[in-house]
Structure 1
Amino acid sequence: MMDEVAKRFRLAVKKYNMYRAPEAVARIATRKGNTFYVVFDGTYCETCGLYDWIDDLKYVLEETGLRAEIVKLHEPEGPTGSRRIAAFRVVEGESQHKY
């Protein structure tokens, strides 16, 4: 059975993709404790706010009642494509922003 944090995180990713795909698509790669590793891929413009695409998931998480911080970002070296992996750690307490 999926715990409440995972359920809300999956809901946030689904909502994120609903409004941002195909330019940016997020998927949960794995989870370690309260840290979720999310792969971002797509045709998003790297010079037009690459980090904004990643930060946006943090705000969508807040809409589902989760507070999270980005604790790590892996970026490929060289011309390997547009894929990025961000680690989001869910922190204690609920977001003030509800639905």
Structure 2
Amino acid sequence: MRKLIAKKEVIFLVTVAAIFIILHSTPSMALRTQVLFMGYPKSALTTKIVDDKYHNEMNHIKFAELNAKAYTLTKPPIEKATQGELRNFLVRKYGFIYLAEYYGET
């Protein structure tokens, strides 16, 4: 009985880890996952992601240290509280995993 529970736990953990790796395997997938978890599923699926040339050129030294790159959403979601556009995101690379965070309008 104990081996069956342990086997199910291992299968569950491996499945969760595989899903996490798939959702963070590329910069665009990590960015779409972040937008989805922020509560904007339509934008996560429909927006196009383009290279944010302005921020990447202006902050190239800082981004090189962070192992990061800025991206812009072409059809950004509108934040409900402030009615601001969530347009710019920073995607950092950790090994073979990418993680995205909102960068703001700086």
TM-score of the two chains, using structure 2 as the length reference: 0.30
Which structure has the larger Rg? 2
**Richer in strand (by share):** 1
Structure (1 or 2) with the greater helix fraction: 2
Q: Comparing both chains, which one has the higher relative contact order based on Cα–Cα distances under 8 Å and sequence gaps of 6 or more?
A: 1
